[in-house]
Amino acid sequence: MIPTHSVTADEYPNQATDPISHDHRLDKPEEACGVFGIYAPEQDVAKMTYFGLYALQHRGQESAGIATFEDEKVHLHKDMGLVSQVFNESVLTQLPGNLAIGHTRYSTTGSSRKDNAQPAVIPTRLGSLALAHNGNLVNTVQLREELVETKVSLATTTDSELIALVIAEAVNAGADWLEGASKAFHRCQGAFSLVIGTSVGVMGVRDPNGIRPLVIGTLPGNPVRYVLASETCGLDIIGAEYLRDVEPGELVWITEEGLASYHWSQKPQRKLCIFEMIYFARPDSIMHNESLYSYRMRLGKQIAAESAVDADIVFGVPDSGIPAAIGFAQSSGIPYAEGLIKNRYVGRTFIQPTQSMRESGIRMKLNPLKDVLAGKRVIIVDDSIVRGTTSRKLVKTLREAGVIEVHMRISSPPVTHPCFYGIDTDNQDQLIAATKSVTEIAEQLGVDSLAYLSRKGMLEATREDTNSFCSACFTGDYPVTIPEQVKRSKLILEKVAV
């Protein structure tokens, strides 16, 4: 029997019911999930995991969960809502143990409901395993059919539960943890960065392409203890020091003996999601030995070189467009200014605004600085445009604030294809760049000019091997083959206008 402590049994409303949040959500690629794992018998592992998830909150705001292992006993708490809403001091005291894993979720496969919150906990002959997953499988239908044929009971609609179940199947057939996990991963296709808890240790795993990030950190002390997190900001918050990334196709096994590494895939080919660098990961997280803030500034400098335009001020759409806007300003010599103020304390609201509020342009998240903007020619920098709805409203707001020219610069190429690897994007016919030229998009947004960063400029700004990134949302060149039935659900168009 697995004890479950729950703050509330009520299902948190789906964000899609929020007319304001929903509209914004569909105009940006939504984050993947955040995962965290720790083996540290000397520490309060539940509290450490809580703070790790708190730092990873930007990766998913629908649900959060922590599972701890106290010898053979698993303690689990998960619920809908933000990390700070799901956990409190009282709940954390009920999660003792030597090791823990945690998850903060944005749903991609499986709807937003409490049953689908993670970690997924599954019993096996060796004891329970708890699994937290960042990414998305593309062979979910096949795996589900295979498990149903073996009379396995499915409790959720997530691909994450399927991964846990195929591990359990291998373990129950006689494999040990490492062998069972390795066998299971060979059955999984798509993107998966995993932390897996067992009674004896914690695993960190990445798919052969390493599409989603996963890093290893160390805690000071003797013996050295290890931490896993989606990003380095999840290490910083608890005082852990970044050691290295989990490599594509690698399994790290953290136990009382320390950290061991196994390469379960013999054909790894790194294809890190480029959107992790452009937008998803926090700007203070480290990739390729530098902060993403530095990379995003280079994106701004590059688009300034590619698409110069005369203007009075440059500003970014808070928060994700700001580093690129600063880079643009530095490169162009046009002054950087704050043009928009973000309400950083606004969360989800389920209260419908009145019709008069809608007509007057309710500004839940961004408000213009009219005295800064009035009479100015402005360059506004953002990281991406998906549907264009938010961008169009933003341009209208700037015009109403007295801006005389609006030049929009996007620090990534046009998004023309949906993602199948753990990012929530619309079907292809909802992606504005899939159906319209840049000129047509500019006309629809109401801007005086619009320019996107070139794919070449985006990749070369990484200063890494340009073939080591997944940029399928810009090209349609998917590194992991998408089954036809999955592809048809999102790839509507035969021809793409760029």
| Enzyme catalytic residues | 33
| 470 in a labelled binding site | yes
| 382 in a labelled binding site | yes
3-state secondary structure the chain: CCCECCCCCCCCCCHHHCHHHHHHHCCCCECCCEEEEEECCCCCHHHHHHHHHHHCHHHCCCEEEEEEEECCEEEEEEEECCHHHHCCHHHHHCCCCCEEEEEEECCCCCCCCHHHCCCEEECCCCCCEEEEEEEEECCHHHHHHHHHHCCCCCCCCCHHHHHHHHHHHHHHCCCCHHHHHHHHHCCCCEEEEEEEECCCCEEEEECCCCCCCCEEEEECCCCCEEEEECCCHHHHCCCCEEEEECCCCEEEEEECCEEEEEECCCCCCCCEEHHHHHHHCCCCCEECCEEHHHHHHHHHHHHHHHCCCCCCEEEECCCCCHHHHHHHHHHHCCCECCCEEECCCCCCCCCCCCHHHHHCCCCCCEEECHHHHCCCEEEEEECCCCCCHHHHHHHHHHHHCCCCEEEEEECCCCCCCCCCCCCECCCHHHCHHHHCCHHHHHHHHCCCEEEECCHHHHHHCCCCCHHHEECHHHHCCCCCCCCHHHHHHHCCCCCCCC
- Structure tokens belonging to residue 374: 């009035």
User: How distant, in Å, are the alpha carbons of 150, 164, 441 from that of 361?
Assistant: 55, 46, 22
| 273 in a labelled binding site | yes
| 320 in a labelled binding site | yes
CB 336, CB 325: distance < 8 Å: yes
CA distance 468 to 480: 13
CB 190, CB 137: distance < 8 Å: yes
| 412 in a labelled binding site | no
CB atoms within 10 A of CB 363: 15
**Among 409, 416, 420, 407, CA closest to 484:** 420
CB 431, CB 201: distance < 8 Å: no
- Structure tokens belonging to residue 131: 């699994």
Amino acid (one-letter) located at 363:
R
CA distance 29 to 276: 11
**Among 31, 47, 53, CA closest to 228:** 53
Binding site listing for [4Fe-4S] cluster: 273, 419, 470, 473
Binding site listing for Mg(2+): 320, 382-383
Binding site listing: 273, 320, 382-383, 419, 470, 473
